[in-house]
Structure 1
């Protein structure tokens, strides 16, 4: 049964349909467009990338949920569309992961993924293009690596190409293109920019979300305020509005644990939704690890909150 239908007036108009009661009460969202030949070819390409390794579609789903919760999955609001997020995950698994998790299908199967095969000859749900990866990183490690890679990625200087399996300097793009787009992710077939809707303020929001994810996953100990340059006083004269350095840092740690608590809650919710659709063993393991980590973060949060309350009462 259709729950809602929305017409998105993008460069390529999209009819977005949401079905309810698809499977165990889970909603299914479908995007439909007409006369977009490149869209058919890239759907075929992404489909076969998804069949290369189960970790690719699983990470795509989780990153999409994270992006939605972070407010950076809306082309209308000047951030990433869903296709750009998929290409970010694909590029990460091709170039940042060593050995690569998925191959460059356009390079190893040029006669199939060249954007010239008649649409009627495109084949789905076949494993004739399967390549086994030597990279056996677990899902949690890949998620941490994704945040680490893109938190350090310079979107201002570099563009991403799936077709060429690399990043390249934006300087080689036409000057008009460089000025027009703040982020450039090359569409594999028509070579246009899939991130053309990203605006400067949207990029700032994207960078902030990626840095936050990287900090929480890869750098648990938050740097002191003095280290990140917000205060210049020496330790001997460290006073902020009447509060001592220790009091300020305790307050910072309290907010850090509260934020970590909320972040894990969102991530667990997203991963649970993914598990309901895809019963994958490695995702079950990742979910268990996150639950353990989440329980520990709750313990730390409550412990710090109690300690902070006692110190204030004293």
Structure 2
């Protein structure tokens, strides 16, 4: 029976379709463990049963664990998460609205993300390197620094009659969905800066020039309108520890969205930006030249950090088993050999 089967469950009561609720037991310490367990089940289902779903990846260590897969028929990459705070939806809306302010934002993000992939700055799997999301934040921060995009004020500009407890939840997330949605929607109507009419080629080279000397060690990368742009301002207030690179989550203030990055990646990113800037300084070079000449492989030490050697769980006879146990095992093996030899001798006779 190779034909696909589709099941529909329709429950009617008095001509109406009531809301269907699925109830299950809680069997984990917290919601995060629960979500991770369910995502594992979902990943197995997608991998073994769902047609056209390929390249299934489980990314559980992230702040918001996800299952990522490719839908082959539509050629779309999908991320599935289970989070009470709708961070993925809000973040997508934020990035979309920022790209709506100026028509140069989206193509610049696209080109730089493609360059980062060719230069092995980003990878298709998570690890101690930059992600596409982090690379997007770097582009937006650069565009804010040259005043093409505005700094975000949706936290600082709340009415003074509203208490901080009403605006920020205990973990720093915006607790009022209505306030957040309205502020994110208003970003779309911000007027772009007409004084900066730089072309995409100039902005691309400017991005590399901006970051080739950027001080990741002491600077805070944030899209929010902060007076103090140093990492020490957050460390001194006890809001976070000293990370090698700090990209502030625009929806969760004082939370580092780049905790996975190691210090060497900041240096490798700067060096690659310097090389890209030199390439674009030649009038004969184009995007294809940029991608080809910046192409590189991941350093061995970074690969070793991301994919450590598997740990053997087989017992070490010299350390895990004492001498008496080893003698007993040898005696049993010798008895088995003698027994097998004796049986063979009887059959032969």
TM over 0.5: yes
Which residue in 2 is equivalent to 1:263?
290
Asked whether the 8 Å contact 2:53–2:72 carries over to 1, the reply is yes
Deviation at 1:54, TM superposition (A): 1.9
Deviation at 1:79, TM superposition (A): 1.4
Summarize the Cα distance change of 1:209–1:51 in structure 2 as closer, same or farther, 3 Å threshold.
same
Of 58, 63, 86, the residue aligned with 1:7 is 58
Question: For each residue in 1:190-213, what CA deviation from the matched residue of structure 2 results, as whole angstroms up to 9, or x when unmatched?
Answer: 121111110123223222222221
Asked whether the 8 Å contact 2:56–2:69 carries over to 1, the reply is yes
Summarize the Cα distance change of 1:62–1:118 in structure 2 as closer, same or farther, 3 Å threshold.
same
Between structures 1 and 2, the one with greater strand share: 1
Asked whether the 8 Å contact 1:18–1:29 carries over to 2, the reply is yes
Of 109, 133, 136, the residue aligned with 1:83 is 133
Deviation at 1:58, TM superposition (A): 1.3
Name the SS of the counterpart of 1:18 in structure 2.
Answer: strand
Which residue in 1 is equivalent to 2:193?
133
Name the SS of the counterpart of 1:80 in structure 2.
Answer: coil
Summarize the Cα distance change of 1:93–1:108 in structure 2 as closer, same or farther, 3 Å threshold.
farther
Gaps of 5+ in 1: 222-256, 268-314
Which residue in 1 is equivalent to 2:205?
144
Q: Which has the greater radius of gyration?
A: 2
Name the SS of the counterpart of 1:148 in structure 2.
Answer: helix
Which residue in 1 is equivalent to 2:247?
185
CA distance in 2, matches of 1:166, 1:212: 32
CA distance in 2, matches of 1:206, 1:37: 31
Of 70, 77, 83, the residue aligned with 1:29 is 77
Q: Counterparts of 1:272-283 in structure 2 under 5 Å?
A: none
CA distance in 2, matches of 1:77, 1:196: 10
CA distance in 1, matches of 2:197, 2:130: 29
User: What is the TM-score of this pair, normalised by structure 1?
Assistant: 0.60
Between structures 1 and 2, the one with greater helix share: 1
Of 243, 246, 267, the residue aligned with 1:204 is 267
Which residue in 1 is equivalent to 2:68?
16
Structure with greater contact order relative to length (CA < 8 Å, sep ≥ 6): 1
Deviation at 1:85, TM superposition (A): 1.0
* RMSD of Structure 2 on Structure 1 (CA): 3.6
- The number of residues matched between the two structures is 223
Summarize the Cα distance change of 1:62–1:20 in structure 2 as closer, same or farther, 3 Å threshold.
farther
57-66 or 105-114: bigger deviation = 105-114
Say whether residues 1:60 and 2:109 are aligned partners. Answer: yes
Name the SS of the counterpart of 1:185 in structure 2.
Answer: coil
Say whether residues 1:153 and 2:180 are aligned partners. Answer: no
Asked whether the 8 Å contact 2:208–2:273 carries over to 1, the reply is yes
Which residue in 2 is equivalent to 1:118?
177
Summarize the Cα distance change of 1:156–1:68 in structure 2 as closer, same or farther, 3 Å threshold.
same
Summarize the Cα distance change of 1:87–1:261 in structure 2 as closer, same or farther, 3 Å threshold.
closer
Gaps of 5+ in 2: 1-51, 160-166, 169-173, 295-349
Which residue in 2 is equivalent to 1:289?
none
CA distance in 2, matches of 1:143, 1:108: 30
User: What is the TM-score of this pair, normalised by structure 2?
Assistant: 0.54
Which residue in 2 is equivalent to 1:301?
none
Q: Counterparts of 1:176-255 in structure 2 under 5 Å?
A: 177-179=240-242, 181-191=243-253, 192-218=255-281, 220=282
Deviation at 1:8, TM superposition (A): 1.1
Deviation at 1:72, TM superposition (A): 1.4
